[in-house]
Amino acid sequence: MKIAFIGLGIMGKPMVRNLVKHGNEVWVYDRKEENIALVTKDGAKAGTSNADIISRAEVIITMVPNGPQVEDVVFSKGGVLDTAKPGTVLIDMSSIAPTVSQKVCAALAEKGIKMLDAPVSGGEPKAVDGTLAIMVGGDKALFDQYQSLLLQMGSSAVYCGPIGAGNTTKLANQIIVAVNIAAVAEAFTMVKKAGVDPHLVFDAIKGGLAGSTVMNAKAPMMMDDNFKPGFRIDLHIKDLNNAINTGHEVGSPLPLTVQVQEMFEVLHVDGCGSHDHSGLAEYYAKLSGTKIAD
């Protein structure tokens, strides 16, 4: 399949590599030449502009930071609306507000271009090994047609409803992940302050009801004082902003989400926005004067 892939960040590069491994002809373009070089050495093909790669593609995949960047790819000169042929499919795998997905889909439909919103969860490690969880909104028949392509990048691709439902599902995911990380950081800071070994506590509780994928992934990072980003705080701030705005639009209060968002904002102001979101442990260290790590 001929694919134009736009967005060669932490997630995009390994996703491109997995598509190439499955025999697709993947065309890429990025303002940073080093990003292009990192994936063309693994078999992707370099284009000269977004318009160039879009014009070659049966499927366009976007993996960009937020709604404004998706709109720029679609609506700008040389973008999808200008360049893509009728019958082309846009699969937006960015995490954005559901209303933006709906707006973009409606505009594309007028030119005979179909769309799925298909945000992902799992961070860089699961992007690398091709085991992302993919949440998909759009026409069910279109999802059925492209599910196998999505599964070249993920271990699951689940249909969630009409366009925008994928991003609504992703917002729910991001709320649960953020609050869970905050709870882990809060609990393990208390453990350390009480003079108990966090490693022993982790071993004791991970098999019980408190155990979770989030705790298994993030508690070891906190105990090692390792906040190398798999998913950056600044990106989680973006997602929670979208969640809060969506909650306001539909009349759903999100008091826990707002609290964790403010914790992330403190870290951003302190210069930690590029740290992994497990860096919420740094927020508790600031409050308590104690690191979870030795």
Which are the catalytic amino acids?
170
Assess contact for 198 and 191: CB atoms under 8 A.
yes
State the Cα torsion 232-260-156-23 to the nearest 10°.
Answer: -20
Radius of gyration of the chain (CA): 20
Nearest CA to 186 out of 280, 254, 102, 51 is that of: 280
What CA–CA distance (Å, rounded) separates 167 from 178? Answer: 16
What CA–CA distance (Å, rounded) separates 188 from 265? Answer: 21
61 membership: H or E segment, kind and range: strand 59-62
| Residue 42 Cα to chain centre, angstroms | 23
Nearest CA to 278 out of 237, 234, 226 is that of: 226
What CA–CA distance (Å, rounded) separates 85 from 83? Answer: 7
Assess contact for 2 and 27: CB atoms under 8 A.
yes
149 membership: H or E segment, kind and range: helix 140-150
Residues 6 or more apart in contact with residue 255 via CB below 8 angstroms: none
What CA–CA distance (Å, rounded) separates 57 from 24? Answer: 11
Nearest CA to 277 out of 233, 238, 243, 241 is that of: 233
